[in-house]
């Protein structure tokens, strides 16, 4: 059953923080910006044109426009191998700093980050933590901008159980990415959250095709729902899949109220899904900030020598009641 | 055949070069209405290249001209040539191995009904009739729905011949049609070449076996290393003389040893 | 042309075609029979493994909605494959066509013009592929890999990487036509059947269809017999382009949103369907019906495996296993029937 | 040739069925040392199928036996047959069109040097020598590095013949070798068939042209619809009688009309 | 065998092979020349567009480390494609081989046995593909699509979807050998060159190599001439399997981590490299050197486009454009040289 809980204490930042950056887009860097001598290689994460990546990318570009550094972008389709390969290519450009996704994990990224620092390249981490490197190079400018994944997952699961009124023994369908090292932590958090609440978890890994093109997962969703008619909660640990909630539900022949659908990340399509009632709840991890702040942080380090910052962008729970406040920003892909 | 009326098909000053190979050098050639012209020449002397040029498959090197019924043709193509009534038995047979006999038989000229849809029933029926009536194959594998791939060499050749001969064509070009045919099938083919003349149609006939060519042709053209090396009429030369000449030309490139 | 001139002096009674024995029939249609056989077996296994799911119409309705999104392209891809070519770029054409749709709708406000623009963009993309392949003679597998990136790149650049909501009320009728239901059957599926029937007629009952086979079988023979090879191939690519654009329209109307990544995940499924349906990689052999069955099979494997209670990390294993077993059985069945 | 010593190659009670087509029915056939056997028969009578069975390409239906030099062979394969010294000119030529002439010439029997690496220089040199010395092609396209695809029909046949004839083989099988060859090339091929006998080797010779077959063979076997329809020696039948018989058999399936 | 018996009665002086004129040479190697030409042009453009980047050795060092990870497989894939087959499953074999490595190392503690296990798993996968294709006669493009999922599924099930860190000190030597540097050149690249040279020798200087061409060119002719077609094809698939497993080892040692998704993104790059290098989809034609060049080109396009300052949403567009332009130029150059 849908529920009408009051807004969570955390969804406070209505548009205010974002308002400062409102007119940021479009401006081109000009010579007198304070960071214009710095060159940066930045990783927006997934493929070009996917909502989450777009938000990060927009953040990067806004900062580029505001501060003036020269930024080169590497789109890695969320593939760890690509991230590692592109890290090398990025290093070859000899930038002053790099903002990289932490998905490949410490084992893979450690030596690369060592090499980067040997070449005087500052590295800062986005979206998924690299605890060892962050600790080792914090003083040299390695920071982290992103939401702590495990906690975010667990919080969403707990919140979904609360709001849907699901009871112990019911089934929850988790569609996530356990197989990805750092990124999988959020999925793990969701699973743990449900299991601690006494729900039975039906887990399905997101396949490669669905990972890059969410509607391709429709048969998987239909199959899972058909095979487990007792599922009362669905969580998709992937922004694109969350935004595709309506398509999935319709294909599976489900009404908006048949299951409680929760997920991650805001984008125009997920706003529509919230409006139509197919999607009930999501956590916004404010990806725009995961783009803007790393650039700012590299600039701060490069120009003024500040050390790395650890910034939690974990945002608010968004549902049909509070989505209006940020609707406009979502369409600009800032929220 | 009438020497005042323009030839059905004519090549003027035609050459063809493939990379370093000059397959045809400045060849003049023509076929008149109701005439059967034999084309002789050693292996690689350019006979098939000439056939493909008449059909519009090869384009002549700049300077060469193709004439059809007294008019110089531009943009000559196989489709045009066939539409104007030229049919060919190619040396390489030009079959589609994985397709059925009837599809091969009507390739590029499939009959359609008034809705513009293929008249498959008719194609199958006519193919069956032709296979039985004309090709006279003895093997059990004669169903028109069979694919060509598994047929014997002679059976394949039979399909290629049938499709060129049993449709009314003004000019029939036969590039070694008896290749791989049995005695009786060869005889049938030769008979058919004769009947072309009776019907007032024309033919170009290539065969390495002079015993096949000599009795049926009106004129003989001898090709050597891409050049016309001589022309004869059966009336002007005996079979023995012809054989001698062929040997001489192949060895020396000249008509007289 | 085409008037047969069986010479009168040798009149042959136009006799009946030798009867086709059941054995001969089976032998000739061995591949299709094999495909049907394995489809039935697979379906039976699914019913046994998850009767609740597979005896319930809801799962079929779900298939009917999702399979056509790429299944229609599989049908058109069959033409291309029969001519011995390949196309990988259709996944990008899906999205690029929709850019045409969205832009024209923005400027003119007319949905009809938008639809037209969408299909025209698809056609243009297809003909561009066809030009590169048939006129310039570049191997299609590589060049369409190039155009796949190229078309996607144009689309991303035009959209500036941002999706477009398609919630305008003006799309209501279009959405009804594309995504509604007819007699309880999802219109997506109805469209797939319509396209299938059309393509079947073209392939089996027109000259153009006959030429598709010949061109794929032996391109030299086709040329020697006066078939316009370039035109035949370009038309095949053009058809696929139009169908891809149409699929893009159906897919994005279904989700009321134009994703910039539209189609990205649909590359392998149509290819699998075409080949599972018995069309030969080496051209000259293929059926629309086989592809149709192949699409239904591929579409149901993923859902089937999951509904059968296999989850987590085992789904890919079983997905692969079913494809392998299907192909092995199909091969053995059709080989057996041939002899 | 010695009738007491076992035949080089023998087929006993061999049948072959393809789907509904029975290409060979209970055929017995043998070739002795130093013997040239001619194989005649209508199109589709099963000659090529028999050849491919001798080479191990087709397996006989159960019950049929293949014997080589007095021993029944099991698991007969083309590789084995060639290793034991049987070479064949197949009717379909069996060339690899995109490969060079020398690669085709040595296909499946490439010479290697002491390191086990291909002796390419030798292959090219020998191919060049054979092309010039034996095939005697007049066209300019005679480089051994050229690919086979663009060669004329007769040139291709020349490659196929050369590769079977100019390597010492105990048994040479020729399935319509003169197909597409010019007069002089045909003569050379027939001369070579004769020389096989002189060297004490054996041959099976298939040709639809009885004028080619009759003068060179020791024995003639007549095939009809997959069955042996008769056996003759040139001494026991004149060329005219033979031609008549062939016609009768093709029409009626029996030796006497 | 193989003793030529040119009959003595017609003694022919073993005369020299007719000289190859430069034109003939160019004509024969038209495709390779075309590939080299376009590679040079592309590189020049990159240098002009981003001299800082492309005149600096660091970018080449980056290529040298990342390109071999899939480039080695492209080299081995050339064999398979020359026989007129295709393989899509190598991306999964990369990971499955490493599962063998990890498990054997866990149980025995021996790195040597682990390496052996990795390569053996690769060989087994390759032979499994080869069996399905060559013995059962199933079209390779589809069946290896099936085994791609199947192998990946096995791997995911065995690893339970979890990655494995490869930070054990015991791997130090192995890592030096695979991922160190030799005379300043990354060992990954050295390995790619070694494998390239080996495969070149096999393809051009052994009987097996000669048979690869013939089998791909005309499988019937090959059979009629006694070439063991099944064995030839199985060996080609087996070789690719071993090389894929080896690549998996190089890749995961490089990142000190075995990701369950290892190889997932590497499907299209090797395929593009093989065809860009001039190997024919229809078998019988192909060179190892061409594939090598193709791999370098594909590897540098992606990096080159980004480094040339083209950013954001235009990278895919330019990536596609460069592939298209390369292929068109290659085709025109080699066509020109042929006549
Ligand atoms: N692989 C096959 N599958 C089906 N039928 C076949 C196959 N091979 C041959 N046949 C059939 O078997 C019969 C005998 O064929 P074969 O090639 O042996 O004849 P042939 O005597 O060599 O004829 P020709 O003189 O025309 O070459 C033919 O009817 C042919 O169609
Ligand atoms: N497409 C081509 N490319 C290169 N060379 C060619 C091509 N076609 C023909 N040739 C060459 O041109 C010459 C003439 O070939 P053509 O086929 O016309 O000979 P032909 O007189 O028909 O011989 P045959 O009697 O053997 O059939 C041959 O040397 C052949 O190798
Ligand atoms: Mg010829
Ligand atoms: Mg034969």
Structural domains in chain E? Answer: 35-327 (1.10.3470)
Flag whether D178 is in a domain: yes
The reported pLDDT for the residue numbered E48 is 86
- Would the CB atoms of D176 and B153 count as touching at under 8 Å? yes
Q: What is the dihedral of CA D109, D115, D118, D121, to 10 degrees?
A: -120
D193 with D212, same domain: the answer is yes
Which atom in ligand 2 lies closest to the alpha carbon of residue B16?
12
* Closest Cα to atom 16 of ligand 2: B46
The confidence band for A20, taking pLDDT boundaries of 50, 70 and 90, is: very low
The reported pLDDT for the residue numbered C339 is 62
B80 with B170, same domain: the answer is yes
Task: Give backbone dihedrals phi and psi of C209, rounded to 5 degrees, phi first.
Answer: -60, -45
Q: Are E205 and D118 in contact (CB under 8 A)?
A: yes
Question: How far apart are the C-alpha atoms of D37 and A307, rounded to whole Å?
Answer: 96
D156 with D236, same domain: the answer is yes
Please count the other Cβ atoms lying within 10 Å of the Cβ belonging to residue C339. Answer: 10
- Which of B111, B127, B146 terminates a domain? The answer is B146
- Is the predicted pLDDT of residue C295 greater than 90, yes or no? yes
- Binning chain A into helix, strand and coil, the percentages to the nearest 5 are 45, 15, 35
Flag whether B123 is in a domain: yes
D130 with D164, same domain: the answer is no
Give A77's contacts in chain E (Cβ within 8 Å): 265
| Largest pairwise CA distance in chain E | 76
Question: How far apart are the C-alpha atoms of E174 and E168, rounded to whole Å?
Answer: 11
What would the mean pLDDT of E76-82 be, rounded to a whole number? Answer: 97
The confidence band for E330, taking pLDDT boundaries of 50, 70 and 90, is: confident
* Least CB–CB distance from B181: residue in D182, D184, D208: D208
The reported pLDDT for the residue numbered D23 is 92
| pLDDT tens-digit readout, D61-97 | 999 999 999 999 988 999 999 999 999 999 999 999 9
- Would the CB atoms of C303 and A272 count as touching at under 8 Å? no
Q: Which ligand is nearest to the CA of D40?
A: 1
Cα(D148) to centroid of ligand 1, in Å?
A: 25
Please tell me the least confidently modeled range out of A184-188, B114-118, C6-10, D173-177. Answer: C6-10
> Which H/E stretch holds residue E47?
helix E30-49
- Would the CB atoms of C339 and D20 count as touching at under 8 Å? no
Domain count, chain B: 2
The reported pLDDT for the residue numbered E339 is 61
- Would the CB atoms of C207 and B118 count as touching at under 8 Å? yes
Cα(D213) to centroid of ligand 1, in Å?
A: 21
What would the mean pLDDT of C218-223 be, rounded to a whole number? Answer: 95
What would the mean pLDDT of C91-102 be, rounded to a whole number? Answer: 96
With the most atoms of ligand 2 within 8 angstroms of its CB, the residue from B15, B23, B177 to mutate is B23
Q: In the block, which residue shows the tokens 């293949």? A: D66
- Which of B81, B114, B146 terminates a domain? The answer is B146
With the most atoms of ligand 1 within 8 angstroms of its CB, the residue from D11, D45, D58, D90 to mutate is D45
SS3 (DSSP) at D14: strand
Give B127's contacts in chain C (Cβ within 8 Å): 17
**Does D62 contact C at CB distance below 8 Å?**
no
B142 with B210, same domain: the answer is no
CA distance E332 to chain C (A): 8
Residues paired with B87 in a beta bridge: B172
Among A71, A80, A211, pick the best mutation site for testing chain E contact (most E Cβ within 10 A): A80
What would the mean pLDDT of C44-55 be, rounded to a whole number? Answer: 84
Among A46, A59, A213, A228, pick the best mutation site for testing chain C contact (most C Cβ within 10 A): A213
Q: Which ligand is nearest to the CA of C338?
A: 1
Calculate the average pLDDT of chain C: 87
Q: What is the CA radius of gyration of chain E?
A: 22
Flag whether D58 is in a domain: yes
The confidence band for C221, taking pLDDT boundaries of 50, 70 and 90, is: very high
What would the mean pLDDT of E215-232 be, rounded to a whole number? Answer: 96
- Is the predicted pLDDT of residue C8 greater than 50, yes or no? no
Q: In the block, which residue shows the tokens 């890290």? A: A87
- Would the CB atoms of E317 and C280 count as touching at under 8 Å? no
Q: At what angle do helices A184-196 and A149-164 cross, to 10 degrees?
A: 40
Cα(D222) to centroid of ligand 4, in Å?
A: 14
The reported pLDDT for the residue numbered E20 is 66
Question: How far apart are the C-alpha atoms of A54 and A102, rounded to whole Å?
Answer: 18
Flag whether D116 is in a domain: yes
The confidence band for D250, taking pLDDT boundaries of 50, 70 and 90, is: confident
How much of chain D exceeds pLDDT 70, in percent? 94
Cα(D191) to centroid of ligand 2, in Å?
A: 25
CA distance D229 to chain B (A): 14
The reported pLDDT for the residue numbered A7 is 41
Q: Identify the residues whose C-beta falls under 6 Å from ligand 2.
A: B 18-19, 21, 23, 41, 43-49, 91; D 139, 141, 150-155, 180
What does the DSSP 8-state code read for residue E225? T
The confidence band for D166, taking pLDDT boundaries of 50, 70 and 90, is: confident
Burial of E22 (0-12, 13-18, 19+ CB in 10 A): exposed
| Structural domain span for residue B61 | 9-94+152-252
CA distance D219 to chain B (A): 19
CA-to-CA separations, D236 to C336, D218, D239, D240, E158, in angstroms, rounded: 47, 11, 10, 12, 78
| pLDDT tens-digit readout, E193-221 | 999 999 999 999 999 999 999 999 999 99
Highest mean pLDDT: which of C40-54, C120-134, E319-333? Answer: C120-134
Question: How far apart are the C-alpha atoms of A9 and A209, rounded to whole Å?
Answer: 37
- Which of B146, B164, B180 terminates a domain? The answer is B146
- Would the CB atoms of D20 and C24 count as touching at under 8 Å? yes
- Would the CB atoms of E62 and A80 count as touching at under 8 Å? no
- Is the predicted pLDDT of residue C239 greater than 90, yes or no? yes
Pairing between β-strand B36-41 and β-strand B219-224 as defined by DSSP bridges: parallel
* Closest Cα to atom 6 of ligand 2: D150
What would the mean pLDDT of E219-225 be, rounded to a whole number? Answer: 95
Cα(E138) to centroid of ligand 3, in Å?
A: 37
Calculate the average pLDDT of chain D: 88
Give C261's contacts in chain A (Cβ within 8 Å): 47, 49-50, 212-214, 240
Both structure tokens of C321: 């296993």
Flag whether B139 is in a domain: yes
B170 with B82, same domain: the answer is yes
In sequence order, which residues have a C-beta less than 8 Å from that of residue E101 and are 6 or more positions away?
E114, E115, E117, E118, E249
Please tell me the least confidently modeled range out of B157-161, C131-135, E186-190. Answer: B157-161
ipTM: 0.88
Q: Could you tell me the pTM of the whole model?
A: 0.90
SS3 (DSSP) at D149: coil
The reported pLDDT for the residue numbered D2 is 60
Handedness of CA B37, B38, B42, B47 (dihedral sign): positive
Please count the other Cβ atoms lying within 10 Å of the Cβ belonging to residue E54. Answer: 21
* Least CB–CB distance from B128: residue in C4, C17, C221: C17
B34 with B103, same domain: the answer is no
What would the mean pLDDT of A280-291 be, rounded to a whole number? Answer: 89
Nearest to B201 by CA among B241, B180, B173, B236: B173
- Is the predicted pLDDT of residue A13 greater than 60, yes or no? no
In sequence order, which residues have a C-beta less than 8 Å from that of residue E152 and are 6 or more positions away?
C316, C317, C320, E91, E92, E95, E96, E264
Closest chain E residue by Cα to residue B21: E339
| pLDDT tens-digit readout, D202-221 | 999 999 998 899 999 999 99
D117 with D242, same domain: the answer is no
Highest mean pLDDT: which of A95-99, A209-213, B20-24, E29-33? Answer: A95-99
Nearest to C308 by CA among C111, C32, C43: C43
D132 with D41, same domain: the answer is no
Among E26, E27, E217, E339, pick the best mutation site for testing chain D contact (most D Cβ within 10 A): E217
- Is the predicted pLDDT of residue D98 greater than 50, yes or no? yes
Q: Give the D:E interface size as CB pairs under 8 Å.
A: 139
Q: For the stretch B78-92, what's the b/e string if a residue is b when 16 or more beta carbons lie within 10 angstroms of its beta carbon?
A: bbebbebebbbbbbe
D135 with D77, same domain: the answer is no
Cα(D161) to centroid of ligand 2, in Å?
A: 18
The confidence band for E338, taking pLDDT boundaries of 50, 70 and 90, is: low
- Is the predicted pLDDT of residue A25 greater than 50, yes or no? no
SS3 (DSSP) at B142: coil
Both structure tokens of B255: 């008509």
The reported pLDDT for the residue numbered C153 is 92
- Would the CB atoms of E4 and D166 count as touching at under 8 Å? yes
* Closest Cα to atom 19 of ligand 1: D44
Residues of chain B with pLDDT below 50 are: none
CATH assignment at residue B217: 3.40.50.300
Question: How far apart are the C-alpha atoms of C63 and C224, rounded to whole Å?
Answer: 45
Among D92, D97, D107, pick the best mutation site for testing chain E contact (most E Cβ within 10 A): D107
Q: Give the C:D interface size as CB pairs under 8 Å.
A: 8
Cα(B160) to centroid of ligand 2, in Å?
A: 20
| pLDDT tens-digit readout, E236-285 | 999 999 999 999 999 999 988 898 889 887 888 899 999 888 888 888 99
Q: Are A251 and A224 in contact (CB under 8 A)?
A: no
**Does D92 contact E at CB distance below 8 Å?**
yes
D176 with D140, same domain: the answer is no
Flag whether B3 is in a domain: no
Does D15 sit in the ligand 1 pocket, CB within 6 Å? no
Flag whether B257 is in a domain: no
The reported pLDDT for the residue numbered C338 is 66
Higher pLDDT, D171 or D254: D171
Flag whether B248 is in a domain: yes
* Closest Cα to atom 22 of ligand 2: B48
H-state helical runs in E83-181 = 90-108, 111-130, 140-159, 172-179
Q: Which ligand is nearest to the CA of D153?
A: 2
| pLDDT tens-digit readout, A312-326 | 887 788 888 888 888
Closest chain D residue by Cα to residue C26: D19
With the most atoms of ligand 2 within 8 angstroms of its CB, the residue from B46, B174, B178 to mutate is B46
SS3 (DSSP) at E19: coil
The reported pLDDT for the residue numbered B16 is 95
What would the mean pLDDT of C219-237 be, rounded to a whole number? Answer: 96
Give A210's contacts in chain C (Cβ within 8 Å): 265
Q: Give the A:C interface size as CB pairs under 8 Å.
A: 146
Higher pLDDT, E132 or C310: E132
| pLDDT tens-digit readout, C160-215 | 878 888 988 899 999 999 999 999 899 999 999 999 999 999 999 999 999 999 99
**Does B100 contact D at CB distance below 8 Å?**
no
- Is the predicted pLDDT of residue D230 greater than 60, yes or no? yes
CA distance C133 to chain D (A): 21
Nearest to C252 by CA among C157, C183, C185, C155: C155
B28 with B116, same domain: the answer is no
Q: Do chain B and A touch: 3 or more Cβ pairs under 8 angstroms?
A: no
Q: Are E199 and D115 in contact (CB under 8 A)?
A: no
Q: Are E287 and E87 in contact (CB under 8 A)?
A: no
Question: How far apart are the C-alpha atoms of C301 and B147, rounded to whole Å?
Answer: 34
């Amino acid at each position: 059953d849908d529920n009408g809980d009051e807004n969570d204490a955390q969804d406070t930042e209505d548009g205010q923080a974002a308002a400062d950056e409102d007119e940021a887009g479009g401006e081109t860097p000009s010579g007198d910006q304070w960071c214009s001598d710095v060159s940066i290689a930045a990783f927006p994460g997934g493929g070009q044109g996917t909502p989450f990546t777009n938000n990060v990318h927009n953040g990067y570009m806004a900062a580029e426009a505001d501060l003036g550094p020269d930024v080169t972008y590497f789109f890695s389709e969320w593939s760890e191998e690509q991230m590692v390969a592109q890290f090398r290519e990025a290093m070859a450009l000899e930038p002053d700093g790099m903002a990289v996704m932490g998905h490949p994990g410490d084992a893979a990224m450690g030596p690369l980050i060592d090499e980067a620092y040997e070449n005087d390249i500052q590295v800062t981490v986005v979206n998924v933590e690299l605890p060892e490197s962050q600790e080792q190079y914090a003083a040299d400018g390695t920071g982290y901008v992103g939401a702590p994944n495990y906690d975010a997952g667990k919080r969403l699961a707990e919140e979904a159980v609360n709001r849907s009124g699901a009871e112990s023994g019911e089934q929850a369908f988790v569609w996530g990415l356990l197989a990805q090292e750092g990124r999988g932590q959020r999925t793990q958090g969701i699973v743990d959250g449900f299991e601690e609440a006494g729900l039975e978890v039906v887990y399905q890994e997101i396949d490669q095709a669905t990972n890059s093109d969410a509607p391709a997962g429709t048969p998987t969703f239909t199959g899972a729902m058909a095979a487990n008619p007792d599922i009362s909660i669905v969580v998709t640990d992937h922004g694109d899949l969350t935004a595709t909630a309506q398509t999935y539900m319709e294909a599976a022949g489900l009404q908006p109220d048949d299951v409680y659908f929760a997920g991650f990340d805001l984008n125009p399509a997920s706003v529509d899904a919230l409006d139509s009632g197919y999607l009930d709840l999501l956590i916004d991890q404010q990806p725009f900030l995961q783009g803007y702040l790393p650039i700012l942080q590299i600039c701060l380090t490069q120009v003024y020598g500040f050390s790395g910052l650890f910034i939690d962008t974990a945002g608010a729970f968004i549902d049909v009641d509070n989505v209006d406040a940020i609707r406009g920003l979502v369409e600009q892909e800032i929220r | 055949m009438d020497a005042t009326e323009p030839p059905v098909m004519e090549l003027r000053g035609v050459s063809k070069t493939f990379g370093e190979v000059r397959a045809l050098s400045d060849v003049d050639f023509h076929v008149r209405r109701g005439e059967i012209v034999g084309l002789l020449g050693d292996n690689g002397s350019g006979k098939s290249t000439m056939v493909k040029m008449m059909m519009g498959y090869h384009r002549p090197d700049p300077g060469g001209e193709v004439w059809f019924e007294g008019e110089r043709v531009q943009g000559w193509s196989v489709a045009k040539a066939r539409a104007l009534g030229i049919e060919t038995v190619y040396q390489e047979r030009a079959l589609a191995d994985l397709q059925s006999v009837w599809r091969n038989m009507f390739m590029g000229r499939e009959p359609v009904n008034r809705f513009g849809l293929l008249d498959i029933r008719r194609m199958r029926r006519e193919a069956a009739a032709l296979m039985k009536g004309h090709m006279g194959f003895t093997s059990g594998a004669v169903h028109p729905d069979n694919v060509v791939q598994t047929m014997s060499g002679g059976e394949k050749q039979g399909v290629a011949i049938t499709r060129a001969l049993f449709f009314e064509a003004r000019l029939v070009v036969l590039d070694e049609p008896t290749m791989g045919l049995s005695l009786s099938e060869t005889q049938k083919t030769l008979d058919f070449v004769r009947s072309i003349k009776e019907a007032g149609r024309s033919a170009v006939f290539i065969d390495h076996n002079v015993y096949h060519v000599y009795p049926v042709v009106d004129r003989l053209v001898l090709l050597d290393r891409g050049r016309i090396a001589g022309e004869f009429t059966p009336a002007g030369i005996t079979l023995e003389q012809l054989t001698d000449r062929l040997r001489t030309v192949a060895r020396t490139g000249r008509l007289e040893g | 042309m085409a008037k047969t001139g069986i010479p009168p002096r040798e009149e042959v009674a136009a006799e009946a075609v030798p009867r086709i024995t059941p054995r001969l029939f089976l032998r000739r249609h061995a591949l299709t029979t094999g495909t049907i056989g394995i489809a039935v077996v697979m379906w039976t296994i699914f019913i046994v493994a998850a009767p609740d799911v597979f005896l319930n119409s809801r799962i079929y309705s779900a298939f009917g909605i999702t399979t056509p999104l790429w299944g229609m392209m599989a049908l058109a891809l069959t033409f291309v494959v029969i001519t011995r070519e390949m196309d990988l770029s259709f996944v990008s054409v899906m999205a690029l066509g929709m850019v045409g749709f969205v832009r024209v709708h923005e400027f003119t406000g007319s949905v009809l013009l938008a639809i037209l623009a969408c299909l025209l963009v698809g056609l243009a993309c297809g003909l561009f592929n066809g030009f590169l392949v048939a006129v310039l003679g570049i191997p299609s597998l590589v060049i369409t890999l190039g155009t796949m990136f190229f078309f996607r790149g144009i689309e991303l650049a035009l959209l500036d990487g941002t999706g477009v909501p398609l919630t305008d009320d003006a799309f209501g009728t279009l959405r009804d036509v594309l995504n509604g239901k007819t007699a309880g059957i999802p219109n997506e599926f109805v469209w797939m059947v319509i396209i299938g029937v059309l393509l079947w007629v073209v392939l089996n009952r027109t000259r153009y269809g006959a030429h598709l086979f010949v061109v794929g079988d032996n391109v030299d023979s086709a040329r020697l017999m006066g078939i316009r090879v370039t035109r035949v191939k370009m038309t095949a690519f053009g058809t696929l382009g139009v169908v891809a654009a149409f699929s893009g329209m159906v897919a994005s109307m279904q989700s009321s949103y134009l994703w910039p990544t539209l189609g990205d995940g649909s590359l392998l499924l149509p290819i699998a369907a075409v080949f599972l349906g018995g069309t030969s990689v080496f051209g000259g052999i293929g059926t629309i019906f086989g592809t149709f069955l192949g699409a239904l099979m591929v579409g149901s494997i993923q859902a089937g495996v999951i509904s059968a209670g296999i989850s987590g990390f085992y789904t890919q294993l079983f997905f692969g296993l079913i494809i392998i077993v299907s192909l092995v059985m199909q091969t053995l069945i059709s080989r057996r029937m041939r002899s």
